Amino acid sequence: MHKLPQISEAEYEIMKILWAQHPLSTNEVCERAQKTHDWNQKTIHTLLSRLYNKGVISYEKKGRMYHYFPVIAQEMYLKQENLHFLERFYNGKAAPMLSALLSNENISDADLLEMYDLLEAKIKKDGDA
């Protein structure tokens, strides 16, 4: 897999906005970001500029307005970040991560059942192959 650039937490928040809907004008990105973050427009413009320079978003100029869109898929980025997290904290091993998740008392029975179903489906799929 081609290594995607690292993006900061703030940059990721902008990416989530663009992944949810695109293309979006600069004003639309600012409006949506300011609903959940206490950022001024200059900060958001800086984040858009950084993301563009990293090659993860691009834009189309329509009149005097820039319309931004993601260049990378959210699934692709999350896959890379998940693998990075697994390597960094669990030496690439999934079982210790699952054990840490299961030891958390805040996990609901519904979440546990969903994890069980996912594991069962994965085992069945790999067993049929």
User: Residue 85 carries which side chain, given as an amino acid letter?
Assistant: F
pLDDT tens digits for range 6-46: 999 999 999 999 999 999 999 999 999 999 999 999 999 99
Alpha-carbon dihedral sign for residues 78, 82, 84, 88: positive
Query: DSSP class of residue 5?
Result: P
pTM of structure: 0.81
Q: What is the mean pLDDT of the chain?
A: 93
- Calculate the alpha carbon distances from 74 to 11, 35, 104, 108 in Å: 13, 21, 27, 26
Residue 55: pLDDT above 70? Answer: yes
Model confidence band, residue 102 (pLDDT cutoffs 50, 70, 90): confident
Are 67 and 58 in contact, with CB atoms under 8 Å apart?
Answer: no
| The token pair that represents 118 in the structure block | 């996912």
Cis amide prior to 5 (ω within 30 degrees):
no
Query: DSSP class of residue 23?
Result: S
Q: Rounded to whole angstroms, how far apart are CA atoms 84 and 66?
A: 33
